[in-house]
Structure 1
């Protein structure tokens, strides 16, 4: 699926702007080194793996592959971490120094070539603030059977509630690029609703046309059993149906460290 015809596309390269790659990781020793090695080919300014208390060799393998590995307790150490993917991404943005931040999931089995450059390139257009990956997701013998929460929860709710964003083919993609200034201006849902939350917040702040997609081909990654997807689906639905019920970290630009002993509720 493609953006509307009048959607602004950035056909230029993003130039020599510094890029920070943030890889959230929890017990991904089987794939994290391969992901780090893949993104290193694009020579970003920094590759930061935010390790959420892995009990396997994720941290050691990521470091050996060339990443800077930070336990999430090391970033904003005065604020105890709250369990969730969004928490790791929020702390990753806090640690990042590049003008652009690229998020890449640690469980990719075959990262596409030039993933960082391809995601960042459209940001040469100043009207764009968020670049989402789009791809085909096979599951077993079904070449498009993956992304069950995307197809059965996220996209139907977007069509009903936010039709201006219904063109997004992979709204929950874990691979995407943002301007760091834009990321710091947004709250972060602490759990698996973080990607949907960022899509909604970027659209709210800059307009739906501030988002675009880049086709990265086929995504091969770890698929969780259906029984483990209930919480993810609940998180996505809550972001779209009852944002006030979401537990969020506040925008980093408005961070009042003395008032953050626990995650804030979305405003």
Structure 2
């Protein structure tokens, strides 16, 4: 298995410099593809505008004679700040989560808005980019879209990068290293070569995404990667080095909730139809004087357990595609 992973790394891992953005519009025309970029956003007014502006400036017409990106959509996941206004002023199409598929009440979670974005985008290639990135480079888009335009066998390409935390250049991937990577190595060792399996920057063909179920929460990246392996095969998956990813880091309790959702997503895929015995995560906070149990107070949180069905099974999506 190690030999297979090493062979895959040699033929399916690249640097973004291997496919300069200037050459990609010609490849896009030759492939006859349209590219949609989707930014899932929840209270990201500080960063979303810079990301949108960079994509429009570097990758879209009329700023570029031939645009690599045809459609730029910010999916607002219920923001209470100026995220939607900032994104619209920067030039994005802003769609609120609740306005998509209104017959089905929206659930909180990143995977929910990614799933719904398939109903409001038209690209043959859909590129997801997190909206909390700082010092954003358009390489995050062109780098992962490029291989899909130049290699028809590829179905999904993830970005890989350093994630600095303080003085540690790779210290930001705590849930990846403590939860996701052990799970993948133990249960899906063919995916062990992915540097950032939980990274939020990846591009895929619509024909693949519409076949896959979407966990509604933070398990979505792991779920899509595992299901893509089983649906398309390892050689249809790739990764591109885009440098360094600077973003907002979560506190330990938030990371614990993410880890629980990711573990549940893995469990579902290991035993389809099984039930999580206790879909609740109990965490502890230091209580005030006289509060809690010996100074600590329990706080319980529901674990994301819902998964949305493959989009091609949704009647509204099938009708839209037929039209």
Fold-level match, TM-score > 0.5? yes
Contact map agreement 1:130 1:179 (CA 8 A) in 2: yes
Count of matched residue pairs: 256
SS of the aligned residue for 1:4 comes to helix
Q: Indicate whether 1:29 and 2:61 are aligned.
A: no
Match of 1:186 among 192, 212, 224: 212
> Partners in 2 of 1:212 and 1:160 — Cα distance?
20
Equivalent residue for 1:143?
169
Q: Indicate whether 1:222 and 2:248 are aligned.
A: yes
Q: Indicate whether 1:64 and 2:107 are aligned.
A: no
Aligned CA RMSD, in angstroms, stands at 1.8
| Post-superposition CA distance 1:222-250 (Å, at most 9, x none) | 00111211110011111112334541111
- Offset at 1:51? 0.3
- Offset at 1:112? 2.2
Equivalent residue for 2:221?
195
- Offset at 1:253? 0.7
Contact map agreement 1:39 1:115 (CA 8 A) in 2: no
5+ long unaligned stretches in structure 1: 258-267
- Offset at 1:6? 4.6
> Partners in 2 of 1:215 and 1:180 — Cα distance?
23
- Offset at 1:4? 3.2
5+ long unaligned stretches in structure 2: 61-68, 276-304, 317-323
Contact map agreement 1:3 1:168 (CA 8 A) in 2: no
Equivalent residue for 1:109?
134
Match of 2:113 among 84, 88, 95: 88
Match of 1:205 among 220, 231, 237: 231
SS of the aligned residue for 1:54 comes to coil
| Larger RCO, structures 1/2 (Cα 8 Å, 6+ apart) | 1
Contact map agreement 1:128 1:212 (CA 8 A) in 2: yes
TM-score normalised by L of structure 1: 0.91
SS of the aligned residue for 2:28 comes to coil
> Partners in 2 of 1:171 and 1:6 — Cα distance?
15
Q: Indicate whether 1:252 and 2:265 are aligned.
A: no
1:172-183 correspondence to structure 2 within 5 Å: 172-183=198-209
SS of the aligned residue for 1:94 comes to coil
| Post-superposition CA distance 1:2-47 (Å, at most 9, x none) | 9632565497744232110000000000101011112222111111
Equivalent residue for 2:298?
none
> Partners in 2 of 1:172 and 1:39 — Cα distance?
22
